[in-house]
Chain A
């Protein structure tokens, strides 16, 4: 992943990973400090929920510790961790969607599908002007409802500013596929929020 500028004396990811594998727990603490903020941010943008994001990112870091000896290229720890974070976020998203569907089935036996419920949550309707904060909330919710790959690609590339090659590595896709998913996601957001974006 894109490395933040680090002091020369700071150990490399590979060095820290090897130290953890030798049994030095403090080395894992350094890896957590290095990647925690980004891990939480990715989970938050994919789940649009603070508690879920903290929980999923924490689970991801614990899982990373458990599976560390399966990491073939320790220098890629950052990308590998973000892959775990985004996969766990997708899992959480799916289980949440399932619960929502089951709940709707109970409340709505006629099988009516839920529409995006932005106005119901106190946000502006299409004809109303929205504040910057409301627009942010709308975009966040739209991102949450994007197809999985589009969402993942958009969060990693457009929000986390990771290089496309690294996003491709994290998602297990080609760079061209990543480009397409990012494009499709942004086009969808642009089309659906067009009237709000014009006034922003």
Chain B
């Protein structure tokens, strides 16, 4: 409906009455209008004549034989299709279930593989308890107090073993650094080193 639909049009109300869609009050009102306005009464006659013609048009010119032929054609086409392609609807209904199952299986596989790879890689590269010892020349090695550096075990899994870190009095090499900074110097022991400086923590 839009603004162009003028339902106050007397003919619109007349049609509601003729179609039996108007209530009693509206029907009385339209009947009164028809008595007062012969033109509206004439319109009512024309509508009645049109309705009678439309009633006849509702009958179709198709006989039972034509409809039966059409029905047979429809069913024959569907039967051919089902024979060649299988029951269409059953296949369609099966697809989402297959997709869902496949999706769930794929997700499970991905999750499983991720966990497995994570475990394998972690265990292979860093089995529990293994200490990574990267032997490099220490940046602090040439410092006079470099020999105070102690070897610290650094685990890739657990980080620095703080219990092995040098105590505060030994940390002379780190005096120039801002307080609170943790420095690791991982170095390769050079020949002649009495004790190989592998990690040098400082504060």
- A residues near B (Cβ < 8 Å) are 20-23, 25, 28-29, 32-33, 36-37, 40-41, 44-45, 50, 53-54, 57-58, 61-62, 65-66, 68-69, 132, 135-136, 139-140, 143, 154, 158-161, 164, 174, 176-177, 179-180, 182-183, 186-187, 189-190, 193-194, 197-198, 200
Best-buried of B5, B45, B46, B56 by chain A (most CB within 10 Å): B46
CA distance A50 to B66 in the complex (A): 11
Nearest CB in chain A to that of B74: its residue: A61
B162 interface residue per 8 A CB criterion: no
Q: A40-B70, A68-B89 are in contact. Are A190 and B47 (CB under 8 A)?
A: yes
CA distance A68 to B90 in the complex (A): 11
Contact of B70 among A29, A58, A136 (CB under 8 A): A58
The 0/1 profile, CB within 8 Å of A marked 1, for residues 47-65 of chain B is 1011111101110111000
The secondary structure that dominates the A interface is helix
Contacts A20-B89, A37-B67, A40-B70 known; 15 new A-B pairs at CB < 8 A: A25-B78, A28-B75, A32-B71, A32-B75, A36-B70, A37-B62, A41-B62, A62-B78, A69-B93, A139-B53, A158-B51, A160-B58, A164-B21, A190-B46, A193-B50
Contact of A198 among B15, B46, B75 (CB under 8 A): B46
8 Å CB interface, B61-89 against A: 61-62, 66-67, 70-71, 73-75, 77-79, 82, 87-89
Residues on the A chain within 8 Å of B66, using CB: 54
